[in-house]
Amino acid sequence: MTIPGNLLTTAMAVMPHRDVDRAMETALSLDIPFWPQLPHVSYNEDMYVQASEHFPGIIVDQENRKLGFSSEKFAREVEEFLSHFDDLDYFDISEDYSVVYHRFLQLDLANRAAIRGQLEGPVSFGFNVMDEHNRPIIFDDSIRPLMLEFMARRVNVQLKRLKRLNSNAFMFVDEPGLQFVFSAMSGYDDVSAKRDMESFFSLIERPRGVHLCGNPDWDFLLKLDIDVLSLDVYTNGEVFVSYADSIRRFLERGGVLIWGIVPTNFEPFEREELTSLETRLKNLWRDLAGKGIDRDFLVSRSLLSPATCCLVNPDGEVTVERAFRLVKTLSHKLRQEYGLT
């Protein structure tokens, strides 16, 4: 297993910081660091814009901070795009789209337990990017297969570069859009999503996983061929642990869960403290133990993190940084209690 467990800490990548150095310092303070995504520094640092680089037909409206798609532009650009299909470097994130990523690649991270990268996932990207008819490109059968392969190549080249820094590197694909798959109004159902996500992950090197903050059909996610699942258990924990059978199978085949337990939004964070969050988390684990999942086995395959990203707090990065410190404190307390090294 290259993804460690034992309640080490990591976090989601989207951060509210405007100071790159401060964001990097905060990300590096956790056991498993990552390169931050900083949309307040530049629109190019937005997770959807970063994922769009070099995809034919994309229109980045910097002034209005909006991402769009033109079928006519796609037709003009697709031949040039395909000519680069065997050039993996073409699919990586350039310095124009993330100064932070390239600074991260210069660090000495070999002695960390692991490191992590991320990219927006194809389902969320396809839902978010609209064509000239205001229709999500995920509905376009002529675009979607190319988008899946494009995103897989982007994940693979990033993972390859991160593994040069640390052999235990792994990747998230951020998929907030997956929760909409199970809405009757989405127009893109779970059967289509299962087919596309299975195809997508078959193209991606391991270790690979999914992060989302919403509340989808957890059976769907736990049955995907992924190595790690990151979720907001502060909000969705009670629902999640009701899927005990699927959780058990996921863990038994080698999966790792990242328990997002510390809220980063100002109001819920102010309502909580170390003891209340510890109790909330232990109650979830107690419920799973009651359904036959051994606690020691569970924590050996678990990481801790803040619950979500947050860009909208009135205090900017202050509460987010407090959440990072609190998740480290919680990890240290539980690791001591359970005798983990």
Which positions of the chain have pLDDT values less than 70?
A: 1, 182-187
Question: Which amino acid belongs to residue 202?
Answer: S
Write down the pLDDT at residue 301: 97
pLDDT tens digit string along 276-307? 999 999 999 999 999 999 999 999 999 999 99
Write down the pLDDT at residue 88: 85
Show Cβ contacts of residue 134 under 8 Å, excluding neighbours closer than 6 positions: none
Write down the pLDDT at residue 2: 85
Domains in the chain, CATH or no CATH each = 20-337 (3.20.20.210)
Write down the pLDDT at residue 227: 96
Write down the pLDDT at residue 307: 96
Closest CA to 280 of 303, 253, 262, 298: 262
Does this model's pTM top 0.75? My answer is yes
